[in-house]
Structure 1
Amino acid sequence: MPISSTFKLSLAHINDTHSHFEPTSVSLVIPEVNIKVCLDTGGFARIKNTVDSFRKQADESDCPFLFLHAGDCFQGSLYYSLFKGEVNARLLNLLGLDAMTLGNHELDLGNTPVAEFLDHIDFPLLAGNWDISNEDIGKSNRLTDKEKLQPYSPNEKRANIIYKDFGNTRVAIFGICIDKMAAIANPDDDTPFLDATTVVRNTVAYLHSKAIKHIILLSHLGYEADLEMANAIEGLSVVIGGHSHTLQGDFSAFGWESEEPYGRIVSDTVVFQAGCHAMFSGLVELEFDDTGKVINHTGGNYLMIDTDFHESMSIECEGRAENITDAKRIAKQYLEKQNRIILVNSSNEISEILNNEYRPAVLEMTSDIVTQVPSRLRHVRIPDEDGGSCIAPLVCDAMLYSARSRGNTIDFAIHNAGGVRVSVESGPLTAAEVAGRLLPFEIDIVKYKATGSQFREALEGAINNATNNGVEGTGDGSYPYLADLKFDYDTCLPMGKRITTLLFRQNNRWTPILGEIWYTAVSSAYTTKGKEGYDALNHRQNDSMSIGVTLSESFIEYARTKFELVNVADSECHLYHRQ
């Protein structure tokens, strides 16, 4: 009988970095002494130094090494708001990635930003279920011409694949994105996304037909979908995932609830994910048998903090520490012993580039106070027992203000709850807070037309989607918030009849919306394309046109000139839950 052989691979991974090039502040709890520690974690400079050390360790032990990114590098911080994909391409190149898969937020503004990103990266971008074979030949910057893109192969009905040869072992890597991309992002109509499961199954079958057994799927589907994929398709060795921001591993030593073990095994496939926002680096040592099955894996997700973290950390004491100095000493000793923490220097080429070329513009926005907020403005996506979002209606007011101040006649505004990201605390509100955290998605505001019936259908569709009421929704971010429009929604009525009242403000009076009358509204470009239940707004006669301002720009100009607390009850949205 032939002697079976094993193959070892060291694999580092990150996902959903969302332009968080700078460190992120987090709170850790030291349970034994009731000390809460606030310190900076992660950031691209620390990722680079950490992964460089991983790579060096692998080289010293003569172990093959890979570094993969599972998508969503765009959006999420002021760096993206100000510099779009330029800074991502530049810094990701410096990280030394072997490959990255496409995330949904890469397509928030259509295909063009991805095409421009591909012009500047030096690693492959994997999108194995993205069919670009019928791309419009008239486009000025076509995806079809990009050597770094590995899309769907229509002739073979599978993903394009990259290969890494390590001695006698060939490792295959391919990437898959959310197949409902058109529902949550803005891919161009001529480049659809195909069913993820079908493409993965076909790709694995192709690889097996070529006697290639060591197969890595780089996925931007979300953790639950990754587990389902592993269960459904035999022959995947490893799934490196993203999208759901799942942090695997035991971080209970810091007072964090553990979500999942690091490396979830499902039907002989091991699934990994590494949180989000560049705070963690995952590293796994994999051992495969000659069939491609992972027979052993060790490693974990690591929280990266600076080697001199104790000098900048802040402390809250509730335990036996007698003073702050004592507490810092205890915290330092405790954290230095934790095996889920890596102490790493944050100085290198990346930090120099950020400091010298990009951070000055960010700091300028950080010091730009646009208004004073008198009391906390809570944000929730779906109204609860305490009411709805207080900040989302203000975002809608800002959209109206920006459109009308530019000479547009607008009846009302609609915005999806997921487009607003955080609550706003009382005190000074800076341009950085607005563009970097509150409204970080750089999406245009557009004016458009629809009939009263279409608006009624869109609002119900968005709420049905957000609440999974009769449909399999894509998330609660679709819930609508409004300005100069209000409705009642009855959860128990038949689909199509759940909006029982729909009124808009006309000459300071609430007036019924009539089914066949055309109205003009403003929303984000995302919403008007019919995403996440708003299908009725995406029709041939909607005449959508950008007003020339993004969501964050609109809110900043509104806050500077006409900021006031809305009477939330005056723009209320009622959800009736009958027993």
Structure 2
Amino acid sequence: MPNVTPITLSIAHINDTHSHFEPTPISLAVKGLEDRVYANVGGFARIASVTKSFKQETQNDADGFLFLHAGDCFQGTLYYSLFKGEVNATLLNMLNLDAMALGNHELDLGNAAVSKFLDQITFPFLAGNWDVSKELPNKAFPVKGKAPLLAYDPDLKIASVLTKEFGGKKVAIFSVALDKMADIAMPDPDTPFVSSKETIINTVKYIHEEIGTPHIILLSHLGYDQDLKMAEEVEGLSVIVGGHSHVLQGDFSNLGLGDMGPYGRQINDTLVVQAGCHSLALGKLTVTLDGNGKVTAHSGGNFLMLGRSLAMDASLDQNLPDETFQKAKGYLLEQPNVIHCRGDEGIKQVIAERYRPAVDKLKSDVVTNLPARLRHIRVPDEKGGSQIAPLVCEAMIYSARERGYEVDFAIHNAGGVRVSLENGKLTAAEVAGRLLPFAIDLILYKPTGLQVMQALEGAINNATNNGVEGTGDGSFPYTAGLRYTYECCKPKGQRITQLEYQTLGGTWKTVELEKIYVAVSSAYTSQGKEGYDSLKCMSELPCSIYVTLADSFIEFARTKDTLLAPEENLLTYLPCQSND
């Protein structure tokens, strides 16, 4: 490919916004003050204002402007719990994105949620290593053929490419996501993900030969470490705008938020950027690429976006004393990585009128009372296991039986429960927004006793790295209607040494390995993720009972005047004794 004209681009970028449309209270350190102060940081309205200003500021110094989102807009807040992808589509459209990458959380509920999202958005949605070419034609909500989707091209073995032209200078943009998407999300089986690295290599070659530009931007949802690896191992990428790992590049130690190294990590001739998460910061990058697409200069940074309010606590109800307020305000105004701004009025109005009333209603909806703190821990310690996860399992059984299903027991992974609960009133907002924020359906399935035994052991092996390289302790299983003993030091395949289920009459019986039982779990667990592999092959197809984790827990909690820890411990976890 012949050498082409250099180009200077201004790029605004965000990632992993996770439905954080409104500002989030964050504690910040202020030099000269002993206590940290709280500020409302970020939000879509401020992102819109700062992006518009950035575009205007750089229009005389850059050949073109791009606004990019590196994936994961779904999940995260009550807005998603209530409105799913619809609110994201509405507000992301109002941001006027040039492109967005597919993230793993977009596929937490399978292809259908993405299909509905594609019907509503007005910007390109890039998923360059997602092969949807063989998606079955009889689905109610397919993704194949939707205009905004730029997916994998199986004939050319490349990502579909978005081309932007600025004054005759072309910029090529494409995206890849995690290869092992099926391990952490729920893409439909007929739409697999192919190798991200091979896709990148093939696509760069195609862009050079067929599109004729060396100016290439990879919109990545691989994670920061993988982005750095791609920059090192693959030639021809100009800029990688990344997400997934929530890395806030830059030195924010002036605000008590740590130092993740310089903004913009250049490896060989490729620049890697990422902008944190939860709509707190906006990345503002100006980059110059030479005639071969190599980075020759770059400037910019990640910026926290603050309004006028400062307070003493996260509720923002306790105002700072005037002298303290003035000192904090003055300090924050001087910080180079802070932008003080007013939010876009149009976005604020849409949130306030169309969506916030339902969120506020949940915040005042008390579903039960907690007379004592309920502790959540993933892997049991000397104090025992989670007090909350078994209650979540009890709720699953309650919801299933209320809908007429005969269920023997429930299993849930510890990572699906996010927080401990303090004593006092428990609101629907606390359940859906903090305790069980992942809007995932409950699934009915029919495993054999052997599959249940294998799933429990596999999940604990995974959580504790016992003979396997696990994916994290979130897979540890909690149950209702099922009790078991796990002995770490037994040979692999023999570590579940007691396994019983509770009949409707309340008696406990040994689980028979060849017998088929009826179980309920989240869609995530029931599909065999993270050690639950034995649940992947059922004698009958699993089916949704059309209630989410949070909704199930809320309807269960409403039946209780007070919610107490389970009376019986259903698991015995026996770790190997240390030789120390």
Alignment of 1:416-427 (within 5 A): 416-427=413-424
Q: Say if 1:488 and 1:576, in contact at 8 Å, map to a contact too.
A: no
Name the SS for the 2:412 alignment partner: strand
Q: CA shift at 1:3, angstroms?
A: 10
Question: Deviation at 1:223?
Answer: 1.5
Aligned equivalent of 2:41: 41
Partner of 1:549: 547
Distance in 2, Cα, partners of 1:92 & 1:14? 11
1:120 aligns with: 120
Partner of 1:540: 538
Partner of 1:440: 437
Q: State the alpha-carbon separation in 2 of the partners of residues 422 and 429 from structure 1.
A: 13
Q: CA deviation at 1:105?
A: 1.2
Q: Does the 8 Å CA contact 1:390/1:568 hold for their aligned counterparts?
A: no
Is the Cα–Cα contact under 8 Å of residues 4 and 213 in structure 2 kept in the other structure? Answer: no
**Counterparts of 2:102 and 2:203, CA distance in 1:** 17
Are residues 517 and 62 of structure 1, via their aligned partners in 2, closer, same or farther at CA, if it must alter by over 3 Å? closer
Q: Deviations over 1:317-361 (max 9, x none)?
A: xxxxxx822211211111111111111102411100111111111
Counterpart code for 2:534 = A
Indicate whether 1:456 and 2:453 are aligned. Answer: yes
Q: Is the 8 A contact 2:223 2:245 kept in 1?
A: yes
Assess if the C-alpha contact under 8 Å between 2:8 and 2:62 holds in 1. no
Q: For 1:355-407, what per-residue CA distance to the aligned partner results, in whole angstroms no more than 9, with x for missing partners?
A: 11111111111111111222332333333454432222221121122223333
Q: What amino acid is aligned across from residue 143 of structure 1 in structure 2?
A: V
User: Could you report, residue by residue, the CA deviation over 1:141-168 in whole angstroms, capped at 9, with x for unpaired residues?
Assistant: 4322211100000110010011112234
Q: CA, structure 1 residues 7+62, in 2 after alignment: closer, same or farther (shift >3 Å)?
A: closer
Q: Which residue pairs with 1:254 in the alignment?
A: 255
In the TM superposition, 1:253-402 aligns within 5 A as 253-306=254-307, 308-310=308-310, 313-314=311-312, 324-402=321-399
Distance in 2 (CA, whole Å) between partners of 1:569 and 1:334 is: 54
Q: Does residue 503 of the first structure (1) align with residue 500 of the second (2)?
A: yes
TM-score (norm 1): 0.93
What is the Cα deviation at residue 194 of structure 1? 0.8
Greater displacement, 328-337 / 383-392:
383-392
CA distance in 1, matches of 2:118, 2:450: 42
> How has the CA–CA distance of structure 1 residues 470 and 167 changed in structure 2, closer, same or farther, with 3 Å as cutoff?
farther
Structure 2, gaps ≥5 residues long: 315-319
Deviations along 1:245-289, one digit per CA (max 9) or x if unpaired, are 121111111212223432222333222111111111111111222
- Give the residue type in structure 2 aligned to 1:203: T
Alpha-carbon distance in 2 for matches of 1:575, 1:342: 52
Question: 1:488-514 CA deviation, whole Å, 9 max, x = no partner?
Answer: 333344432232332333444444323
Q: What TM-score comes out, normalization by structure 2 length?
A: 0.93
Is 1:73–2:73 an aligned residue pair?
A: yes
Cα drift, residue 187 of structure 1: 1.2
Q: Alpha-carbon deviation of 1:419?
A: 1.6
Secondary structure of the 1:246 match is coil
Q: Which amino acid aligns with 2:98?
A: D
Cα contact 1:315–1:324 (8 A) shared by 2: no
Question: 1:578: how far off?
Answer: 3.4
CA distance in 2, matches of 1:277, 1:224: 20
- In the other structure, the counterpart of 1:320 is none
Query: What is the letter of the counterpart of residue 222 of structure 1?
Result: G
Contact 1:504/1:511, CA 8 A, preserved across alignment: yes
CA contact (8 A) 2:376 2:386 kept: yes
- Note if 1:203 corresponds to 2:203: yes
CA distance in 2, matches of 1:99, 1:66: 8
Deviations for 1:4-39, whole angstroms, at most 9, x for unmatched residues?
A: 964211111101111111111111122432121112
**Structure 1 counterpart of 2:467, which letter?**
G
Gap change, CA 1:476 and 1:172, over 3 Å in 2 = farther
Structure-2 residue corresponding to 1:185:
185
Cα separation, 2, equivalents of 1:28 and 1:375: 31
Q: Deviations over 1:43-71 (max 9, x none)?
A: 11111111111111122434421110011
Q: Secondary structure at the match of 1:286?
A: strand
Which stretch of structure 1 is more off in the superposition, 209-218 or 490-499?
A: 490-499
* Residues 413-422 or 469-478, more deviating: 469-478
1:86 and 1:31 map into 2 onto residues whose CA distance is 42
Cα RMSD over matched residues? 2.2
Give the drift of 1:290.
1.9
Partners of 1:138 and 1:543 lie apart in 2 by 17
The Cα shift of 1:113 comes to 1.6
Match for residue 570 of structure 1?
569
The one-letter code of the counterpart of 1:118 is L
Match of 1:216 in 2: 217
Listed as ranges, the gaps of 5+ residues in structure 1 are 317-322
| CA distances 1:468-507 after superposition (whole Å, capped 9, x unpaired) | 3333433332221222323333334443223233233344
In the TM superposition, residue 244 of structure 1 has moved relative to its aligned partner by: 1.4
Assess if the C-alpha contact under 8 Å between 2:111 and 2:141 holds in 1.
no
SS at match of 1:143: coil
Q: How many matched pairs?
A: 569
Aligned-partner residue type, residue 366 of structure 2: I
Q: How does 1:47-196 map to 2 (within 5 A)?
A: 47-196=47-196
